[in-house]
Amino acid sequence: MGKRLFVGNLPFSATEDQLRGLFGQHGEVTSVEIVKDRLTERSRGFGFVEMATEEAAAAAIAGLNQHQLDTRPLTVNTALERSEGGARRSRDRSGRSSGFRSGNRW
């Protein structure tokens, strides 16, 4: 099974093909996604790359973390797993919930 990587600090001009080529130098890439704003379709400056093997993912992290892409140092690390349902809640220091849930419209 592949390994999903988080890629941060992307230049807004970066393309999925550009990332596929860059990460492909370290192993087989199975998917690339640059996250875009829903309204403007502009890049949000981060994305995800899935590598075919754990070894390829480790090589990509070692080789590309802090790599300069259009004068911006990339942040490359293992992506966190998504939580079920997509709901998020944050707590303040006293442990009280903020009540924030993703997907709500105010």
pLDDT tens, 18-70? 999 999 999 999 999 999 999 999 999 999 999 999 999 999 999 999 999 99
What residues does each domain of the chain span?
3-80
The whole-model pTM stands at 0.76
Encoded tokens for 13: 């001009």
Cβ–Cβ < 8 Å for 7, 78: no
Instruction: Quote the CA–CA distance of 37 and 16 in Å, as a whole number.
Output: 15
Query: Is residue 57 within 8 Å of residue 5, measured between CB atoms?
Result: yes
CATH 3.30.70.330 fits 3-80, yes or no: yes
